[in-house]
Amino acid sequence: MINDNNIISNNKFAYTTIMLIKQNIIKSIEPLHNPVTMIGLNKALRHRIFWSIFDKDFNKNYKQTYIYSSCDKLEIDKIKNRKVVIIENIELLIDNDVLQNKMKELLKKSFEQKIQIIICSNSNVEDLEIDESLKSKMLCGLVLHLK
């Protein structure tokens, strides 16, 4: 059985990066690297990293500053006034031009509004068969390979 301590110790750089993002929210500092792309593990294990940082105490004061959503459910107008947007299930972009265009617009808005984007994927983004300009935007920041 994998416990949270093992996940964190195996992914110290990712954990530290998400911790810095949390500190930026608290201090109202602009994103350091945008976007941050987290590749690997599965959604449930990535959740353990996020929720060990965005814990109950943090959520009590800052819950409205971030949004966590699947890329197919995330609406562009919902990111306004957020500091962090965590996007899961980007594999849904494959063979979906409408969703790819939506993701391009979301990234554009987030860069303009200085919103930290965290993109999560089970598989390597470089291997996804999606528009090359979108892929380039998703990989232009910090890429974290989880194990």
* Segment 39-58, tens digit of pLDDT: 998 898 898 899 889 989 99
The separation between the first and the last C-alpha atoms of the chain, rounded to the nearest angstrom, is: 15
Q: For residue 81, is pLDDT > 90?
A: no
Residue 70: both structure tokens together: 């699947």
Q: For residue 1, is pLDDT > 90?
A: no
CB 70 within 8 A of CB 88: yes
Q: What's the mean pLDDT in 83-106?
A: 95
Q: What's the mean pLDDT in 6-33?
A: 90
**What are the E-state strand segments in the chain?**
36-39, 66-70, 84-88, 116-121, 142-145
Instruction: Give the pLDDT of residue 115.
Output: 93
